Structure 1
């Protein structure tokens, strides 16, 4: 698996990483063997950067990940978790909860240090608290050796300049904003992040199943014209004998300015396919045809979090 350096850190991450949200049964009921096998297959396939959060399964993802990683040499994988989001509507970015959350995550994951910790979905709270309280608290934990690098994650593009115009972090994670249909992250944020020396991570290459052949989930927030274009693009790919998910993943991995793209599944076969696709060349002709289909709805997304953070 090809690797890239994350910003100014000393981390070399695979261009394709394993997202452990599915281990928390966020999308369907998951059998224990499936969860444990998914982690093993990910590591065997070179997806040795693992991303999780206390929010995923309300702790279940971290617990199962900790079990799956028992006996695996700690220096053979890179580990990221998050803090601040603990339920659909429960957010706490206070300094007190920051310290508690890191210690709980370390216990669940069975390790004495985290490689990266991110403030999770900061657009749901007044973001000045992240600057004034949360990041300073994380820097103290970083100095204590429990965390190597710190950052934040979220959906709206506004969050990156709001935070980084006032303070510094080591890396950020954007989701569903760099895909076949929506490249706002690369268009609006990545040049700014690079100028700040901030490591750039992308998640959600399939945009919550929008860019797959799977039935669209009822909770998908994208507008109907975006969904219609995605169905048309998927049918066009199928007519060429290609799964649109393959094109979607390869498109994300091809951008040299994005260190890694995080994709999650509790299905080991999905992970094997992704690793295989990552090693295959991108069909540039098909890509242009699909981009033409998406052109009328390019960069159309939805709102997340507080209105003032969008």
Structure 2
């Protein structure tokens, strides 16, 4: 497994990270046995970075992940979880909530320390509370050795970069902004990497946008973007290719040059893991890539903040 250093002196982490939201049944029911299988397969394949959050499946994802990791040597996995987001439309970045959330996460995950603790979807929470309470609390926890690194996550790249640099956080996780359709994260990630901030890319398929079936009804992409993605899917099929696989290949194989340390992909089955590893290691079909890029060119970098659709990300 390809790996990168997490910060100047941090551990090496896999270029492909296991997104554990799916273990909480967020997308479809997942049994504990199934969760155990995919986590074991990921670790065996060298995927040592796992991202989760209390919000995913209303704590079910953390519970399932903790059970799947039982007996796994602690140093074999780099665990990332989050604080702040409590529900679809509920955030609390108060010191009390942060400390309580961390303790509960540690109990569910069965660990004493969290390697990366992230403030979740910061654009929706109270900014002053984030700055005055959450981040100072995380800095104290880091000094105590309870957490290894401090991070922020979200969609608003300008805000993420501003907070990351002003508050000297260790990591940033952005979603849906380094894909075949939207690559605005790349220059931000390179600037942050130059300042020692590790950047993670989540949702490289744009929350289902870059798939053969298209995005769910609630997806916030504009109709123009949806139509372009469907055109890309049709062109892939005509060439005997699959849009989601090409999109994953692009995001995974160009991540390093974009300044991205690791790409977080949701996985709930070992076969999905194998497909994702293949996307990381199989050379991209240049004809399929060109066809997709041509179809998406009219809507390149047009996120839903610039070209709003009729849907809306849960909680937005």
Q: TM-score, normalised by structure 2?
A: 0.92
Residue aligning to 2:144: 144
Distance in 2 (CA, whole Å) between partners of 1:128 and 1:195 is 27
1:66 maps onto 2:98 in alignment: no
Residue aligning to 1:163: 163
Question: How many residues in Structure 1 have an aligned counterpart in Structure 2?
Answer: 304
Q: Is the 8 A contact 2:121 2:152 kept in 1?
A: yes
Q: Is the 8 A contact 1:8 1:170 kept in 2?
A: no
Structure 2 counterparts to residues 98-247 of structure 1, below 5 A: 98-187=98-187, 189-247=188-246
Shift of 1:77: 1.2
Residue aligning to 1:307: none
Residue aligning to 1:299: 301
Q: SS state of the match for residue 90, structure 2?
A: coil
- 1:136-157 per-residue CA deviation (whole Å, 9 max, x = no partner) reads 1101111111101111000011
Shift of 1:285: 4.0
- 1:49-96 per-residue CA deviation (whole Å, 9 max, x = no partner) reads 100000001110000000000011111111100010011011111111
Distance in 2 (CA, whole Å) between partners of 1:288 and 1:62 is 39
Unaligned 5+ segments in structure 1 are: 305-309
- 1:198-245 per-residue CA deviation (whole Å, 9 max, x = no partner) reads 011101011111111235311111111111111111111122222111
Distance in 2 (CA, whole Å) between partners of 1:155 and 1:20 is 19
Q: Stretches of 4+ moved more than 3 A in 1?
A: none
Distance in 1 (CA, whole Å) between partners of 2:77 and 2:284 is 27
Residue aligning to 2:56: 56
Q: Is the 8 A contact 1:176 1:182 kept in 2?
A: yes
Structure 2 counterparts to residues 6-85 of structure 1, below 5 A: 6-85=6-85
Shift of 1:9: 4.1
Superposition RMSD in Å:
1.7
Q: SS state of the match for residue 57, structure 1?
A: coil
Q: TM-score, normalised by structure 1?
A: 0.93
